[in-house]
Chains A and B, each alone.
Chain A
Amino acid sequence: MSGTESIVKGLRSSGGEPGADGPVTRERWLGWLGIALGLIAFLITLPPFEVRTAVPSYLIALIALTLGVSSILGGEKRVGGGAVAAALFGALGAFAASHSGVSHLEVVVSWSALTAAMLRYATPLTFAALGGLVSERSGVVNIALEGMMLMGAFFAAYGADKTGSWVGGLLIGMLAGMALAAIHAIFAISLRSDQIVVGTGLNFLALGLTGYMYVDTYGANGTPDNLPSVPEVNLPTDSLGFIGQAISQLNLLVWGSLVAVVLVWIVVFRSRLGLRLRSVGENPRAAETVGISVFAIRYGAVIASGALAALGGAFLSIGFVHSFSQNMTAGRGFIALAALIFGRWRPGGLLAATLLFGFSSALAQRLPEFSPQLATLFQALPYVLTLIAVAGVVGRSTPPAADGVPYTREGK
Chain B
Amino acid sequence: MSEQTPPVPPNDLGPQGATVGARMGIAMKAGGIVAPILTVLFAFLIGGLVVLITGHNPIDTYKAIFDGTGLQWLFPWTTGADRDTAAINLQQTLLVTGPLILLGLAVGYAFRAGLFNIGGQGQYIVGSIVAVWSGSSWAGMPHVLHVVLCMILATLAGAFWAGISGFLRAVTGANEVITTIMLNWIAIWLGVYLFSLGGPLQNDAQPDVPISNDVVSGAKLHVFWGDPELQGLHIGIFVALAAAFVYWILLNRSTKGYEARAVGFNPEAARYSGIKVGRTYVLVMATCGALAGLAGSLDVLGWQFHLATNDIQGTQLAFYGIAVALLGRNTAIGTCVAALLFGALLNGTSVRNLDPAVFEPELAQNLTTVIQGLVVLFVSADVLILMIYNKLRIRRKRPPGATAGEPVEVAA
Contacts and interface: CB of A to CB of B under 8 A. Distances in A.
A262 interface: no
B332 to A, nearest CB: 21
A334 B172 CA distance: 21
Interface string B162-190: 00000010001111011101110110011
B373 interface: yes
A391 B410 contact: no
A197 B372 contact: no
Interface string A109-143: 00000000000000000000000000000000001
Contact of B172 (A208, A392, A409): A392
Contacts of B403: none
B168 A391 contact: yes
A235 interface: no
B384 interface: yes
A337 B181 contact: yes
B211 interface: no
A337 B192 CA distance: 23
Contacts of A379: 189, 192
A193 interface: yes
A215 interface: yes
A189 B1 CA distance: 10
A201 B370 contact: no
B377 A187 contact: yes
A293 interface: yes
Contacts of A215: 360, 362-363, 366
Interface string B42-56: 000000001000100
**Which secondary structure dominates chain B's binding surface?**
helix
A412 B12 contact: yes
Given A190-B9, A215-B363, A384 B186 contact: yes
Contact of A205 (B11, B198, B370, B379): B370
A257 B12 CA distance: 41
B411 A196 contact: yes
Interface residues of B, number: 60
B9 A211 contact: no
A387 B186 contact: yes
Given A191-B384, A201-B376, A212 B366 contact: yes
A193 B326 CA distance: 13
Given A198-B380, A204-B319, A191 B11 contact: yes
B175 A390 contact: yes
A270 to B, nearest CB: 27
A387 B366 CA distance: 31
B380 A201 contact: yes
A204 B363 contact: no
B189 A209 contact: no
Contact of B2 (A143, A190, A202, A211): A190
B136 to A, nearest CB: 20
Interface in A368-412: 372-373, 376-377, 379-380, 383-384, 386-387, 390-392, 396, 404, 409, 412
A331 B372 CA distance: 18
Nearest to A300: B1
A380 B367 contact: no
Given A194-B383, A194-B411, A208 B366 contact: yes
For this complex, into which size category does the number of interface residues on chain A fall?
35 or more
B362 A204 contact: no
Interface in B349-385: 360, 362-363, 365-377, 379-381, 383-384
Contact of A193 (B185, B189, B373, B383): B383
B174 A390 contact: yes
Interface in B104-130: 116, 118
Interface string B321-350: 011001000000000000000000000000
A191 B21 CA distance: 11
A356 to B, nearest CB: 15
A193 B384 contact: yes
B189 A380 contact: yes
Contact of A208 (B118, B372, B383): B372
Nearest to A146: B181
Nearest to A380: B189
Nearest to B200: A373
Interface string B195-216: 0111100000000000000000
A325 interface: no
A333 to B, nearest CB: 10
A209 B50 contact: yes
A192 B12 CA distance: 11
A29 interface: no
Interface string B382-412: 0110000000000000000000000000111
A205 B47 CA distance: 10
B66 interface: no
Contacts of B54: 212-213, 216
A389 to B, nearest CB: 9
B172 A391 contact: yes
A341 to B, nearest CB: 6
A203 B199 CA distance: 32
Most buried by A among B116, B178, B186, B372: B178
Contacts of B384: 191-194
Contacts of B189: 376-377, 379-380, 383
A207 interface: yes
A204 B1 CA distance: 25
A211 B369 contact: yes
A320 interface: no
A203 B177 CA distance: 15
B116 A197 contact: yes
A54 interface: no
Contacts of B9: 190, 409, 412
Contacts of B362: 215
B15 interface: no
B2 A193 contact: no
A387 B179 contact: yes
A377 to B, nearest CB: 7
Contacts of B374: 201, 205
Contacts of A213: 54
Given A194-B383, A211-B366, A296-B1, A201 B377 contact: yes
A211 B349 CA distance: 14
Nearest to A211: B366
27 contacts: A190-B2, A190-B11, A191-B11, A194-B383, A196-B177, A197-B411, A198-B377, A201-B375, A205-B377, A207-B366, A207-B369, A209-B50, A209-B370, A212-B367, A213-B54, A215-B366, A295-B1, A334-B185, A373-B193, A373-B198, A379-B189, A380-B186, A380-B190, A380-B193, A387-B179, A390-B168, A392-B172
Counting from the closest, the 7 A-B pairs by CB-CB distance are: A208-B369, A205-B373, A204-B373, A201-B376, A208-B370, A295-B2, A201-B377
Given A190-B11, A213-B54, 10 more contacts: A191-B381, A196-B118, A196-B411, A198-B377, A207-B366, A331-B185, A373-B199, A386-B178, A387-B168, A392-B173
